[in-house]
Chain A
Amino acid sequence: MDFLRATTWTEALRMKADRPDATPLQGGTDVMVEINLDKGRPKALLDLTPVTELTEWSIHDDTVRIGAGVTYTRIIAELADRLPGLAQASRTVGSPQIRNRGTVAGNLGAASPAGDSHPPLLATGATVEAESVDGTRMIPIGDFYTGVKRNALAANELIRAIHVPVKTGPQYFSKIGTRNAMVIAVCSFGLALNVAERTVGTGIGSAAPTPRRAFEAETFLAENLDWSFENELDPVVTKRFGELVAAAAAPIDDVRGSRDYRVHALAVMARRTLGWAWQERVNGGNS
């Protein structure tokens, strides 16, 4: 095994071009577990942590560009007001020590269906900025997940940043697990309401081969939600929304939960997050 240490982004891209078989290494919270437990031996590790450009975030045109090296801890501390959905999901990742190292880029690189950043990224319509020596590609998040633990990155590409729109309404994330810390999601759900445009975003985690949106549920809610938020939240709308979210999933039975349980839980989480979002508006949310 070789250890490649990139000190600048240009150098990282060149190293990845020369060694497409190298495994990028950011926080290491996925990569090192695999090596320690001998589940896979990369030919080479490409350490990106010395690349300081990656540890920055910035805002352009109401979109936050999160560098690939920004940790969950920093998203929680620095971006919770602009990206509440992603910040809520970040709070549920592992433990403080894991959040101090782990990154959204690493979550995307691993592309586990259970990764917690995926539902809010799907719900908000994020974009992955991938780069190689050949240039930059902006990959819509819905096209990024291509299979179980597979993504759309080419062998010479690295994730430079993730672009996430600043909130345009309430955003909520919910996750089912056996305890509050240190759990891989049994299933999870993210909701984002765009109040100005009256559109709805959703993201389902851990209930299909890839994270996915619930398109029919989004359309239904956009058409049937009382966007004035003046009356009570209609229980018929809430119930139907939950059913449509559950219907969009294709879960399996596994050690963490049964198929039936996941379908049930998704409907509950969909109703619950919608209730929270509604409450935020009623309580004078100015978003």
Chain B
Amino acid sequence: MRVNVTVNGTPMIADDVWPGESLLYVLRERLGLPGSKNACEQGECGSCTVYLDDVPVCACLVAAGQAEGREVLTVEGLASAEGGLDPVQAAFVECGAVQCGFCTPGLIVQAHSLLAQHDGVPADVEIREHLAGNLCRCTGYEKILDAVRLAASRKAGS
């Protein structure tokens, strides 16, 4: 089947989509956007997190057909067109919140959604709650929390 979906602002068409296929598969294998990662395919790790109509979801649990006519924003769409990093991305780099990097795209999108709904710097419990569905096997999370606090404080200060 064919799926029409707007990804990172660009209307796209995926053809020959199998009805049981996930949005994650379509993004990675059919639309050339491998930023969202595939680690578990069961909603446990969050590495596939994308925005679907402004709501962060696990792309591995969205059927491709459910994205028909809707808007998806992936980690590739967060940086500016000129390549300037989103403040959350910049903070991850600066804080050393990236090791192997596999969890990073999902964490960036999910952290981005926390700051989008928050004016000040979220309390640590809020950050932990918000990122509870994103697993990282490398960093031990401390530097990820540092990065979210840094991005949030810059946003609050600006």
Q: Spell out A's residues near B (CB within 8 Å).
A: 1-3, 5, 25, 27-29, 31-33, 35-37, 41-42, 44-45, 47, 49, 73, 94-98, 100-101, 180-182
In the complex, A180 Cα to B133 Cα: how many Å? 11
Does A45 lie within 8 Å of B63, measured CB to CB?
A: yes
Does A25 lie within 8 Å of B66, measured CB to CB?
A: yes
* Cβ-neighbour of A98 out of B19, B58, B65, B66 (below 8 A): B58
Does A33 lie within 8 Å of B66, measured CB to CB?
A: no
* Cβ-neighbour of A37 out of B41, B57, B65, B130 (below 8 A): B41
13 contacts between A and B (CB under 8 A): A1-B20, A32-B60, A33-B41, A33-B43, A36-B22, A47-B63, A47-B66, A96-B133, A98-B58, A98-B133, A100-B55, A100-B56, A100-B57
Q: Spell out B's residues near A (CB within 8 Å).
A: 1, 18-20, 22, 41-44, 46, 49, 55-58, 60-63, 65-66, 68, 110, 129-130, 132-134
Does A33 lie within 8 Å of B61, measured CB to CB?
A: yes
In the complex, A180 Cα to B56 Cα: how many Å? 20
Does B19 lie within 8 Å of A1, measured CB to CB?
A: yes
Q: Given the complex, which residues of B lie within 8 Å of A27, measured CB to CB?
A: 61
14 new A-B pairs (CB below 8 Å) besides A32-B61, A98-B133, A180-B132? A1-B19, A2-B19, A5-B65, A28-B63, A32-B60, A33-B61, A42-B20, A45-B63, A97-B43, A98-B58, A100-B56, A101-B58, A101-B61, A181-B129
Q: Given the complex, which residues of A lie within 8 Å of B61, measured CB to CB?
A: 27-29, 32-33, 36, 98, 101
In the complex, A100 Cα to B113 Cα: how many Å? 12
In the complex, A98 Cα to B57 Cα: how many Å? 7
User: Looking across the interface, which residue of chain B has its beta carbon closest to that of A26?
Assistant: B66
Does B42 lie within 8 Å of A95, measured CB to CB?
A: no
Does A182 lie within 8 Å of B44, measured CB to CB?
A: yes
Does A181 lie within 8 Å of B68, measured CB to CB?
A: no
Which one of B20, B62, B130 has the highest number of Cβ atoms from chain A below 10 Å of its Cβ?
B20
* Cβ-neighbour of B133 out of A3, A37, A42, A94 (below 8 A): A94
Instruction: Sort A-B residue pairs by CB-CB distance and give the 4 closest, nearest first.
Output: A95-B133, A181-B132, A3-B19, A36-B41
Q: Given the complex, which residues of B lie within 8 Å of A94, measured CB to CB?
A: 43, 133
In the complex, A27 Cα to B55 Cα: how many Å? 12
Q: Given the complex, which residues of A lie within 8 Å of B65, measured CB to CB?
A: 3, 5, 45, 47
Does A32 lie within 8 Å of B62, measured CB to CB?
A: yes
Q: Say yes or no: A36-B42 contact (C-beta < 8 A), given A45-B19, A98-B133, A182-B133.
A: yes
Min CB distance, B4 to chain A, in Å?
A: 12
In the complex, A135 Cα to B44 Cα: how many Å? 38
Does A35 lie within 8 Å of B20, measured CB to CB?
A: yes
Does A97 lie within 8 Å of B41, measured CB to CB?
A: no
Q: Given the complex, which residues of B lie within 8 Å of A41, measured CB to CB?
A: 20
User: Looking across the interface, which residue of chain B has its beta carbon closest to that of A5?
Assistant: B65
In the complex, A101 Cα to B48 Cα: how many Å? 14
In the complex, A5 Cα to B58 Cα: how many Å? 20
Which one of B22, B63, B129 has the highest number of Cβ atoms from chain A below 10 Å of its Cβ?
B63
* Cβ-neighbour of A181 out of B19, B22, B60, B133 (below 8 A): B133
In the complex, A1 Cα to B65 Cα: how many Å? 12
Does B22 lie within 8 Å of A95, measured CB to CB?
A: no
Q: Given the complex, which residues of A lie within 8 Å of B68, measured CB to CB?
A: 5
